[in-house]
Each structure stands twice: as C-alpha cells, then as structure tokens.
Chain A
Amino acid sequence: MIAAAPRLPVFAAALGALTLLAAVGSMLVGPAGLAPQAVLRGLFTADADTVALVVQQIRLPRTVLAAGIGAVLGLSGAALQGYLRNPLAEPGLIGVTGAAALGAVLMLYTGASQSFALALPAGGMVGAMLAVLLVLLLAGRAADTLTLILAGVAVTSFASALTSLALNLAPSPFAALEIVFWLLGSLSGRSLEHVALALPFMLVGGALIVSTARALDALALGEDAAQSLGFRLGAVRWRLVLGTALAVGAATAVAGAIGFVGLVVPHVLRPLVGHKPSALLPVSALGGAVLLLLADILVRVITPAQELKLGVVTALIGAPFFFTLVIKSRRRLA
C-alpha cells in the first residue's frame, strides 16, 4: 500500500489517456463509415449538414453516456465494496440497477416522462434509492457475503419481475419486447436529450460518492477507529446512499441495467493501486469509463446491423470474473 502511493498518479494519468483514446474510438465507429477528418470537422462545425448531425447528435451523446455511465458504475462499485467491506458489492449484484430500471420503466411506459421529461431519471433514482436502503436494511453493514448476495438476488429478481409485469401491461405493442433493453442495457438511439437528463445527476451523485473517500479509508480500520478520527458515520452512509442512487439511478434510467462494470473494474485495479478507497475510487471511475466505452464500440463492430445489448458484452467479460471470485472465496472459507 505504501509502495502503491507514488504509482497512483502514473496509473491515473495512464487510465485518463486510455479513456480519451477509447472516447476517440467511440466517436469514430458507426455505420455511417466516416473518415477521422470528417468526424473532427463534424464535431466542431456549426453547420447542420449530415456529417455534423451524425457526429453531434448520434455519436457524441453515445460517447458521453458510455464514459459517464461507465465511470459512475465503476465508482459506485468501488465505494460500495469499501463501505460494505465486501468484494461482491456492486450496484448490479445488490439490485440497485434492477430497481432503477423498474422506476424508469414505470415513468416511461405510463407516459409520465412524456409530459414531464425529468420523471424518467427521477423514477430511476427513486428505484435505486429504495434498493440501496432495502439492501442495507436486509443485510446491514459488514454483513457476510452470503447475506449481501441473497439480499441483492431478492431485490433484483423482485424488481425484474415487476419490470416484466409493467412492460406486459404497458399499452405500447413494443413494450414487452423492450424487456431486453431494461435488463441488459444499450446506448443505441440515445440523444443529447438523454445526456441532459442524466449527466447532471450522475455528476452530483459521483461527487457525493467521491466525498466519502477519506471516510472509507478510515472505515477500513474499523468503525470505532473511523469515529475516533472524527467521521460521522451516519452522514457518510447517507452521502454514499444518495450518491449511488443519484448516479446509478439516472444512468440506468437512460441506458438500462448494465451489469458487472462495478464488479470487474475495482477488482482489476485494486492490485495495481492498493486497497485504499481514496486511491481506488478515482481510478475505478476512469476504468469504468474505459470498459464501457470499449464495450459500446464492440457492440457496434460485432453486429453492425442489429446491435448487441451492452449487458451481453459486459457480462461476457464480467461473468468469468465472478467465477474466479467465487472460487477464491471458497478457498478462503475452506
């Protein structure tokens, strides 16, 4: 951990550069097949020609959302793992994204978000909030892994059942088919309107989570130690709950439930930067952005005509990770 400290800025800078590179790649990929110079001109031109439309209205929102959503998922994963002192804590696994999707579904298909656009992220955030509170209530802080996962499974399956029910009852003939979008997530067809709806909440939520970093460091030493260092644990918990709900809720409301990012990214980065949450949080945000940007490039490259859902790619990367974690924890228990 001591050795990790001087390495941290280097890693952060490298991840930052990687994020930028992935973002550039995301801007360059698409069925229109634009040359890099055309994309560059289209990004900064004030004309409303077709290239500018494609770059500014279709690719830019996609890139911004992929980076932002990946960042908040990575960040909230790292923070939840630190706070709950549990390697499997992640917004997807503990049911936060599932509940956020349910909240957004209720707002979108009833037409509430048509008459009041902010209802969409609001629904996602309320759903996420309820899920975090429910899991904390069911499992409690520093609950054993099994209890936490069971609470997460309960919340997730309940939320996904209610999501299916809501979509089946929705008046739109397309609704029932869109269960895939909500369970697996996608950035296809997103616009700057979605960015405007979600990004402010994601920024505020992300800032709230980052503000708990020092307290999470202290908490790693135990609750008593943290309290003696002057951290008010109640306030820390509320900032973390609110931050996760805002960030993950708003992100899920516009892109569906994207799993595994919050699980994989902190685990990959922890050996590189050490276990201190204050070091892990910022790099996890960058790592999440890189992962989701790359995943969103992949879905466009693998099957250009009919895009894969993002959750398919993140699960393909994340599920093997999950397996190794299970095997590791079994060894520890044995």
Chain B
Amino acid sequence: MRRHLHAERHIRRTGTRLAAGALVLACALLAGPVAARPSNVVSLNICTDQLAIQLLEPDRIASVSFLAADPHYSVVADKAEQFHLNRGRAEAILRLDPDLVLAGTYTSPATVRLLRRLGYEVVQVPPPRDLAAAREQIRTVADALGVPDRGERLIARIDRRLARAAPEGSHARRPVAAVYEANGVTPGRGELAHAVLHAAGLRNLAARRGLRNLAPLPLEALVMADPAVLVFVSRRDAPPSQAQNLLAHPALAALKQRAAVAVVPPALWSCGGPQLARAVERLAQARARALAAPEATR
C-alpha cells in the first residue's frame, strides 16, 4: 500500500515536470525562430526604426531609415546617426545581409517583395491607427526582436506617462481642435493623431466633418469652423513650397490670433512610443488656454 502510494506520487511528480517541460517547449515553439535575438537588424520604416533603437542593443542594429536621423520625424535622431541610414533600396539592404528586416505595411513594397523572395525574414507592421494599435505595434516589433519583456515595459511606461499627461475633466468639456498640415490636409478618424487629440481632451474637427485618414480640408471650411485650438505639425524653417506657403495664408494668420495654437511635430505623434505623452501634454496646454480664453473673444 505504502509502496503503491509512493509510486503514485512519483508518477504525479514526473507528470508535473513533464507538463512544465511541455509548456516551456510550447512557448519556445510559439515564439518561433525569433526567440533567438536577431543580431543584424535592418529597419525600413520610421516607426520600426525608433522601436528598434529603443528596444535593442545598438550593435544588433545594422541600418535604420534616413528619417530616423531627422529630428522632425524621430525622437531618437541623435542615436540614429551612428547607424547606416537606408532609403529603402533593396541593393543597399542586401549588402548588409540582415537576419531580420522590419518594414511598414506601405514602406518600399518592391524592396519587401524582393527580400522575401530571396528568403530574408521580413516583419511588416501597419501604421498605428490608434493607441491600442500603437501598443500592438510595439508588441509585434518587440517579439520579432526577441525582447518581448522590454516591449511590455515600454508599453507600461507609455501608459503611465499618458495617464499623467491627460488633462482633468477632459470628458466634460472638449474644445474643437483642427490640425492643419502643409497642402491643407488634416488627420481624421483612423489616424493616430486623432486618438492623441482625443486623449488630450479635444474634439477633432476633421472627424466631426466625417473625414477619415489624412484628408484635404478646404481653407474656407477651416475658417468657418473657427476652431478653439489650432494645431500645426511643421517647423517654421521648412523649405519653401506651395504646400508650405498655404500655412502662411492671411486668412489662417487671422484664425491663429483667435485660437490657441499648438505645434506638434510628426516625431511626437506619428508612431507609438513614450513621446505620445509629450504630444498630449502640448495639446492639453493649448486646451487649457482655449478654455481660459473669454468666450467673448471667440
């Protein structure tokens, strides 16, 4: 009897150990071949560039896109300068012989097709359309880079900072905000900027007008809407073009005097990352100014 019990306990213990072993194996299998951390990563997209630089040791990165070194588009521009900067051309990337290529869904489709045909591992991520998608993008990239725990830590940091940056009473009063970019386009529903405006306690004029993604907004319509907050994305010293000169239109200058103006460069709100909190902070400040302005001036 006693021997029998002992045997049973032994079997059970072995079973537990086997089950645990199977779990570890399953995890390894689920994580796939990327569980081994890639050591020669090439990134073709500004979002994956920034994530790779934030999540991975520099010696494991072979190349990032040229936009990553432009502070207008990238929050890690100073760190990006040490890497080879690519322009998404297959020839340059093949020479680097990467063990992982990170790309956006819409970046350099010809290059991605060619790399896949030649057997290179390519992970494509869609541009984040809201905050949840931004988190998902970080998870996807972190998994591909073999550093899922760092990805989770980054997400937790973003969520903490976003929660701190969100203004109080943002659900009670939402002033109307309009983002006006060069060429007279504005981000509507389905753009990360729309989600960031919402997080900052603002209402996006473009979404109210039923616009989706990046859509043209006639200057006349913008003036008539007379938004309480006016958001610009471009720098003052942008090289001249008709698209850029539209932002110097006298009608817009008059509108600027009536509204609270915020400048949020693409670096702060076109990709998922802790920088989103800085975008929210800037917008929340403009919101506070708009709410403080006496109604009579509007």
Alpha-carbon distance A174/B238, docked complex (angstroms) = 11
Interface Cβ pair total, 8 Å cutoff: 83
Query: Are the CB atoms of A54 and B239 closer together than 8 Å?
Result: no
Pair A58/B216 contact, Cβ less than 8 Å: no
Whole-angstrom distance from the CB of B176 to the nearest CB of chain A? 13
**What is the CA–CA distance of A170 and B243 in the complex, to the nearest angstrom?**
13
What class of interface size applies to chain B in its complex with A? 20 to 34
CB distance from A37 to the nearest CB of B (A): 16
- Which A residues touch B215, using CB under 8 A? 305
Q: Which residues of A contact B238 (CB under 8 A)?
A: 172
Inter-chain CA distance A178–B246, complex, in Å, is: 13
| Residues B240 and A58 in contact, CB atoms below 8 Å apart | no
- Are A193's CB and B242's CB within 8 A? no
Q: Is A11 part of the contact surface with B, judged by Cβ < 8 Å?
A: no
Q: Is the CB of B240 within 8 A of A113?
A: yes
A298 is an interface residue with CB less than 8 A from chain B? no
A48–B218 alpha-carbon span in the complex (Å): 19
Contacts of A38-59 to chain B: CB distance below 8 A: 48, 50-51, 53-54, 57-59
| Contact indicator per residue, chain B 38-72, by CB within 8 Å of chain A (1) or not (0) | 00000000000000000000000000000000000
Smallest CB–CB gap between B172 and chain A, Å? 26
Give complex CA distance A121, B58 in Å.
Answer: 51
Chain B 203-236 interface 0/1 with A at a Cβ cutoff of 8 Å (1 = within): 0000000000001101111011010000000000
CB-nearest residue of chain B to A175: B241
Say whether A304 contacts B218, CB under 8 Å.
yes
| Contacts known (A57-B254, A58-B251, A189-B219); A50 close to B226, Cβ less than 8 A | yes
Roughly how many angstroms separate A304 CA and B241 CA in the complex, as a whole number? 23
B148 within 8 A of A: no
Whole-angstrom distance from the CB of A111 to the nearest CB of chain B?
5
B255 lies within 8 A of chain A by Cβ: yes
Task: Flag whether B249 is at the interface (Cβ < 8 A).
Answer: yes
Q: Report the minimal beta-carbon distance from B101 to chain A, rounded to whole angstroms.
A: 24
Which residue of chain A has the shortest Cβ distance to B221 in the bound complex?
A: A31
Give the chain A neighbours of B219 by CB distance below 8 A.
58, 189
Query: How far is B255's CA from A108's CA once the two chains are assembled, in angstroms?
Result: 25
Closest to B182 in A: A174
CA distance A174 to B246 in the complex (A): 12
Contact of B249 among A48, A57, A113, A178 (CB under 8 A): A57
Q: Quick check: is A109 within 8 A (CB to CB) of the other chain?
A: yes
Chain A's closest residue to B246 (CB) is A189
Contacts of A322 in B (CB 8 A): none
Q: Which of B226, B240, B245 has the most A CB atoms < 10 Å from its CB?
A: B240
A334 to B239, CA, bound (A): 55
Chain B residue contacts of A111, Cβ below 8 A: 239-240
Q: Collect the chain B residues with CB atoms within 8 Å of residue A193's CB.
A: 250
Query: Which B-chain residue is minimally distant from A182 (CB atoms)?
Result: B242
Minimum C-beta distance from B10 to chain A (A)? 71
A30 on interface, CB distance cutoff 8 Å: yes
Q: Does A53 lie within 8 Å of B240, measured CB to CB?
A: no
Known contacts A32-B223, A172-B239, A174-B183: A191-B216 contact under CB 8 Å: no
- Determine if A58 and B242 form an interchain contact, defined as CB atoms under 8 angstroms apart: no
By the criterion CB–CB under 8 Å, are B220 and A32 in contact?
yes
Question: Is B285 an interface residue, CB under 8 A from the partner?
Answer: no
Residue of A nearest to B238 (CB): A172
Instruction: Decide yes or no: A192 and B182 within 8 Å by CB, A54-B220, A172-B244 being known contacts.
Output: no
State the CA gap A31–B182 with chains docked (Å): 19
Contact of A170 among B241, B245, B251, B254 (CB under 8 A): B241
30 interchain pairs, CB-CB under 8 A: A31-B220, A31-B221, A50-B223, A53-B255, A54-B251, A57-B250, A57-B251, A58-B219, A58-B220, A58-B249, A108-B240, A109-B240, A113-B240, A170-B239, A170-B241, A172-B239, A172-B243, A172-B244, A175-B239, A175-B241, A177-B243, A181-B242, A189-B184, A189-B246, A189-B249, A191-B249, A191-B250, A191-B251, A304-B218, A306-B216
Which 5 pairs between the two chains have the least Cβ-Cβ distance?
Answer: A174-B243, A172-B241, A171-B239, A57-B251, A172-B239
